[in-house]
Amino acid sequence: MSDFEAEDLRKRSLSSENTFEGLVDAQLSRRGFLVGAGAVAATAAATSMITFGVPSEAQAATGFTTVAETTADTVTVPPGYKFDALLPWGDALFEGDAAWGHGAGEINGGNLTTAEQNRRVGYNHDMLAMFANPFGSPASVAAQIAVFNQEYTDPTSMFPDYKAGNPSRNHVDVELAAHGVTIAGIRLVGDTWVHDKAMRVGDTAEGALVARRVTGTTRFTVDGPAKDDPRLAGAVVGTLNNCAGGFTPWGTYLSAEENFNQYFANASGVPAGRTKDNFRILGMTNGASERRWEKFHDRFDLTKNPNEGFKFGWVVEVDPYDPTRRPVKHTAIGRFKHECATVVVQYPEAQTKGKVVVYSGDDERFDYVYKFVTDGTYDSTSPRAKSHFSLLSSGTLYVAKFNANGTGEWLPLTIDNLNTVAAGAFDDQADICLRTREAGDAVGATPMDRPEDVEAPCDPVTFAGTGKVFIACTNNSNRGGSANRPTGTVRSGAIDAANPRANNRTGHIVQINETGNDHTSTTFAWNIYLLAGDPKAATGAVGDVKDTFFGDRFGSPDNVAFDKRGLLWISTDGNPNSYPCNDQVLCTEVAGNGKVRVKRFLVGPAGAEICGPLFSLDNTTFFCNIQHPGEGRASTFPYGAEARPALVAVRRTDGGIVGN
């Protein structure tokens, strides 16, 4: 979720099909919102009290008072709500470890060691998931396992003695330890969520401790088509730049490796060929990296170890209930700058077994939307079955093509299809999984305006989907301009049906309706759900929303989530680039006039991005992560001292349903 408006557009060759000038209004007039979400599995309907699709006018009305735009250095919530911050960077995960602070015997950025960081909350919280403890507990259970990943480290904010371009070995090793995934117990005590360092799996004395870290030095298993490819030979160690992700019905956490390119140096020294081309497409640094990790670890120097560059860019799976299970990198889901890994299950009618579908966005300007459909099936009658832990190792990977007439296709990224459209360009399925962006180029996928989160409303227990999917396209200031091919020639960066605004600074949200409400379908219909911006902007101005919504203005939608009524909630990354307000969370609902109303629910502290929006299963808590407070602006969030990323829990003061 880093801000790529400041990054040079990578040089690559892409097709630009379905460009158009006059079909935007036609698309907007066909927009279907969430109406008619379709049938879900009968078993899901029988076990769930969730309402899918856009509620009726009576159901949709939200009861909170919209929050005004603000640049205050705090979390601002509506009257009648409160927030608690917990699990900030550096807090001890285990009982008996020293507290974070600046007094005698306390730990802080000035004396933090690798050994200490390995036992503490990581840096820059991103995707958040909550797992009931024990597994399968009712929605109201007060014990939860919080799992959240760490996107990147900012050493200038972490270490008072850091010198850019000249880190010490301790700086680098602590940064490696601060990346990855944090697993911690939290407990609702009265009306406040608190960190429970003593929590054990199953919430019994016999269970293993919940708290642990997965870091930049953790050993991983690799599965899927590329597991035996020579480019992945040797140990696969660490996970870096974990952005959004997902979670599975069998109780595991999925973390998406995104901008891993920034950690590697000296791509210019790699011999000409497919490997060098792939590194260029992914933006690997030609000279020294900004972080200079290569000074101390040869694996980040591509001239010394080019294979290391292929060991990142995957979807990672971690089991919070079993610390003995080694985390896995799933090559079948493809290698690119993953922004999310959203899971739904497609059950045949009245059955308990169904295919698992994983949606992902590739977060860069002019990149693609993907989905993966498993070969095997999930059995909802035995969620923790051993067979479920290998489901993501085998299946079919697809990339999306959006046609100008409101239809779309999921194009298979299989060796048979690639041999048809680009004979000889790929050796086998492993090669496709390792060079997924190039495969998307070859089949003619639609380049999008930074497709970040791809979310689908589903039953929170069975994960039965509705056939509806929402794509948050954060922004693309290059849309309507040009983009360079590797040869130096120029291709059109024109607007197209799914990306209808030039200089799209504020972003938009696209809705997909899978054919037959079937998430395994290879065709779909689509519409623009809304164009982010200012409903009061002049026609044709930057931020003109073309009457797609009314209410509170906002820019740069980044992550979305659904409450139990099916209402769509949006968190932003980059709103201050468009409007004088910190990044925020907004609720969308359908008003009586059939239009989308947007209401501002929460505004974050100075310089922060809002990540991982999530509702508790009983909808009495809204969770999110506050990432990089103080970036570009001074902040003392969360505790009035130095800025530290943290998890936030928002509740009504009367304990009622959030948003009612």
pLDDT band at 46 (very low <50, low <70, confident <90, very high): very low
Say what the pLDDT of residue 277 is. 92
pLDDT band at 565 (very low <50, low <70, confident <90, very high): confident
Q: How far apart are CA 158 and CA 352, in angstroms?
A: 48
Structure token pair of residue 256: 């998406």
Determine, yes or no, domain membership for 194: no
pLDDT band at 483 (very low <50, low <70, confident <90, very high): low
Q: How far apart are CA 147 and CA 321, in angstroms?
A: 11
173, HSE (Cβ side, Cα atoms, 13 Å) = 10
Q: Average the pLDDT over 282-303 and give the result.
A: 97
Say what the pLDDT of residue 481 is. 79
Q: What's the CA dihedral at 205, 208, 209, 214 to 10 degrees?
A: -170
pLDDT digits (tens, 9 = 90+) for 233-290: 999 999 999 999 999 999 999 999 999 999 999 999 999 999 999 999 999 999 999 9
pLDDT at 54 over 90: no
Determine, yes or no, domain membership for 619: no
Cα 19 to Cα 440, 492, 501, distances in angstroms: 18, 9, 12
pLDDT band at 592 (very low <50, low <70, confident <90, very high): low
Q: Average the pLDDT over 145-159 and give the result.
A: 98
Short-list 10, 3, 6, CA closest to 493 = 10
**H helix or E strand, kind and range, residue 415:** helix 415-421
Parent domain of 293: 260-312
pLDDT at 140 over 70: yes
Q: How far apart are CA 576 and CA 485, in angstroms?
A: 32
Q: What average pLDDT is seen over the chain?
A: 90
Determine, yes or no, domain membership for 658: no
Fill in the amino acid letter for 543. G
Q: Average the pLDDT over 19-36 and give the result.
A: 37
If one counts the domains in the chain, the total is 1
Determine, yes or no, domain membership for 99: no
**H helix or E strand, kind and range, residue 398:** strand 395-402
Q: Which residues pair with 646 in a beta bridge?
A: 626
Say what the pLDDT of residue 518 is. 98
Least-confidence region, from 41-45, 268-272, 356-360, 508-512: 41-45
Q: Average the pLDDT over 353-363 and give the result.
A: 97
Calculate what percentage of the chain has a pLDDT beyond 70: 89
pLDDT digits (tens, 9 = 90+) for 572-586: 999 999 999 999 999
Determine, yes or no, domain membership for 30: no
Say what the pLDDT of residue 16 is. 35
Determine, yes or no, domain membership for 270: yes
